Structure 1
């Protein structure tokens, strides 16, 4: 009897597949490091075909850990890193590499739009501040800089949408990303006014249908079954964006205690529950995100730091880079294991670190693509351990 649920999360750092029983207990997990490249001018891109191949690899690895996984699987759900732009053509082939949420090339367009009075209308519809990480500004930038690429495209996906397409052959996005990017959080659908403000109304044909994974699934395709080792026809659900799924798992939907939730991942997300549209608070600065949740009429409202653990990755890379220059190799995991040791020998509160290490700057609680990281108060008595602690 089928008794296993599979969750896929294609994150910025790691792509993973996890098997759960029907009580929600984790049975096994398989993961591979994610890979993307940074480009001059603030670009951050990821290969679509490799992303799908890596995802399929995790599913095959999961089958090695869970006996009879294919026949025991009830359904598969897929989520992934948010924002970004992943274009495919009419044959379903990638038009170019995917632009990630770390991509900063649309920063000037964001400044242009935010300087206009009509950006308030866009903000009141989406409930979300505008940043270069989002698909709207990225498409507007592509219109100016890469029109041939857009001419070849027939669908604009986010990461999880691309994987769902490879699993099922269906072109779709979910209510959370569909509405905070191009829609109205109250109606859970696309909004023409938002597209007009963003300057991409003529690209609406690229936007896939919004489907709610709590009500809709599609069968695993024969090609995907062959690639993953799972059974053709297994139901596949397009989940909400990764942070919404994490919020669910963390208990954000507890309407009595109303907990807050912070996610410290590659990016940082700090959220509260809004139980009705009227509880959504729209600030004057036009920042943050409002994400529809699987429960109708309920929202996760959040502020997002562009870089959270990316700051740790950067400071550890300084040490590992020096070691590598001397022929000494240390993995990221080995470097992380040293963090507690460095903290124990450093002085608390002796340095201030501004955590804007992303080339895309900052998106919350303020929007500034030019924000950059730095240490304040550094002197000759400070060492590497102090920098790590800060």
Structure 2
């Protein structure tokens, strides 16, 4: 017996809609992708238009149904994997009172300073508030990008919009409302508000934390489990999506919760690395762990029986997008002669990223001494600094574009190593690490990751679909096909294994020492220029 499900991977720059067939394996039937805008503002704002996201969801759903030739009535479940820690404020009718404030938004510096920065401090956070927050939530709202400070920013700067607020949602919760008409928030999203009481017997929003951080508790929705059925597809939504009304909709999870599930890294102690627009290192743990100095915390995931010890990199693949647009491409037509990519090359390389990475494959480890820092929009871990920025270090007359592009790829890997080493101060990470996301499509990146981290890197089939696959696992659990989340590793197998090249270790170890010094040596300069 097999069932068909539809899942949505809602990213920062686009949505991927997939149909999976679930039986004794999970098979991708078809997928469609559509992008939307990320609006970066001069004051640190990062916003998105929810109508653009919903429209992209509708159009890609229609495409996958048409391409698969599957009857809408045969879809037995809908679920989501989504970007997290966005702020969606809606009125009583579920209409947004303003644009989505992305997890990348960093304009609420004043709100963070007033809320957590006064009195006796540890790592810049008020000592008493830190202790209370850790006791109740297992984490602390210490980042300017945490949604509670965005909420307070709207309260202070947009009072007319704030008066209209009925509920506070995250991105996928808004899409769930559009599908079902219900206001809910899954546990992992609730944890991301830094208002969720994780203590035994609680599992609810904390009135003490709401009072401490200035939040109206009436704005918070009902909490649901990730694999819970949270509603049925309404007639209106069914018409827009070309699906059948009454189709069950499940809670789903955030990308930090479900990409590890889609990677098959679900057993205790399993570590995975993700490289998409953002990036992270995450390890499954069975207890609350917090490293406030390195900004790493164990966060609630899709499985109620475990946590994900999570270290985030704000811009990973986004750095490669930047280097593609501004270094690899001739965006100002300065060349005297332009050579178009031929049809034969287009057939050989799936896209310009593949072509770009093919061009740098012969650059040696260490990029001829050039080092890149991937902090194009600030950084969270292992240091929190919204003013930090990217840089190329040690450019010479001999440095070419290929060296610079290669250095960007290595810089992302260096930062992920920094995060992995920070995790190992508190926990034991796995010997072999699963690598997923668009970055894992490149054998060059996979091998470089293995060389820099000094450990085995494992990839799975279609690593770019790990989030959507994790959402499919959620439906399988919700429908009773799988008994528990941990059973996902039976369905998701390793495809390739990369072993460290010891000849490159000395070079990478040397560069890594310099890489870590670049923030310390330039922290004051970042503040002078970017404040």
TM-score under structure 1 normalisation? 0.91
After TM superposition, the structure 1 = structure 2 runs for residues 1-390 of structure 1, keeping only pairs within 5 Å, are 3-23=3-23, 24-112=26-114, 113=116, 114-117=124-127, 118-129=129-140, 130-181=142-193, 182-186=195-199, 187-198=202-213, 200-201=214-215, 203-255=216-268, 258-275=269-286, 279-285=287-293, 287-319=295-327, 322-323=330-331, 325=333, 334-349=351-366, 350-358=369-377, 361-390=378-407
Residues 217-264 of structure 1: CA distance to partner in whole angstroms, max 9, x if unpaired?
A: 310001000001110000001212122111112223223xx3201111
Residues 49-89 of structure 1: CA distance to partner in whole angstroms, max 9, x if unpaired?
A: 12111101111111112223311111111231111111111
**Cα distance in structure 1, aligned partners of 2:49 and 2:333:** 29
Structure 2 regions of 5+ residues with no counterpart?
117-123, 408-531
**Cα distance in structure 2, aligned partners of 1:325 and 1:149:** 44
Three-state SS of the structure 2 residue aligned to 1:133 is coil
How many Å apart are 1:326 and its aligned residue?
A: 5.6
Distance 1:86 1:128, change over 3 A: same
The 8 Å contact of residues 342 and 388 in structure 1, kept in 2 or not, is answered as: no
How many Å apart are 1:320 and its aligned residue?
A: 5.8
The 8 Å contact of residues 4 and 22 in structure 1, kept in 2 or not, is answered as: yes
Residues 164-189 of structure 1: CA distance to partner in whole angstroms, max 9, x if unpaired?
A: 01011111111001023221233432
Distance 1:88 1:225, change over 3 A: same
How many Å apart are 1:134 and its aligned residue?
A: 2.2
Q: After alignment, is 108-117 or 236-245 more displaced?
A: 108-117
Task: Judging by fraction of residues, say which structure has more helix.
Answer: 2
Matched pairs, number: 381
Q: After alignment, is 9-18 or 104-113 more displaced?
A: 104-113
**Cα distance in structure 2, aligned partners of 1:190 and 1:2:** 38
How many Å apart are 1:2 and its aligned residue?
A: 7.9
The 8 Å contact of residues 188 and 292 in structure 1, kept in 2 or not, is answered as: no
The 8 Å contact of residues 2 and 22 in structure 2, kept in 1 or not, is answered as: no
Distance 1:219 1:264, change over 3 A: same
**Cα distance in structure 2, aligned partners of 1:320 and 1:87:** 39
Three-state SS of the structure 2 residue aligned to 1:94 is coil
Three-state SS of the structure 1 residue aligned to 2:185 is coil
Three-state SS of the structure 2 residue aligned to 1:344 is coil
Q: After alignment, is 38-47 or 340-349 more displaced?
A: 340-349
Structure 1 regions of 5+ residues with no counterpart?
none
**Cα distance in structure 1, aligned partners of 2:315 and 2:297:** 16
The 8 Å contact of residues 292 and 298 in structure 1, kept in 2 or not, is answered as: yes
Residues 329-378 of structure 1: CA distance to partner in whole angstroms, max 9, x if unpaired?
A: 989974312322332343431111111001xx111122111111112212
TM-score under structure 2 normalisation? 0.68
Distance 1:282 1:72, change over 3 A: same
Q: After alignment, is 1-10 or 376-385 more displaced?
A: 1-10
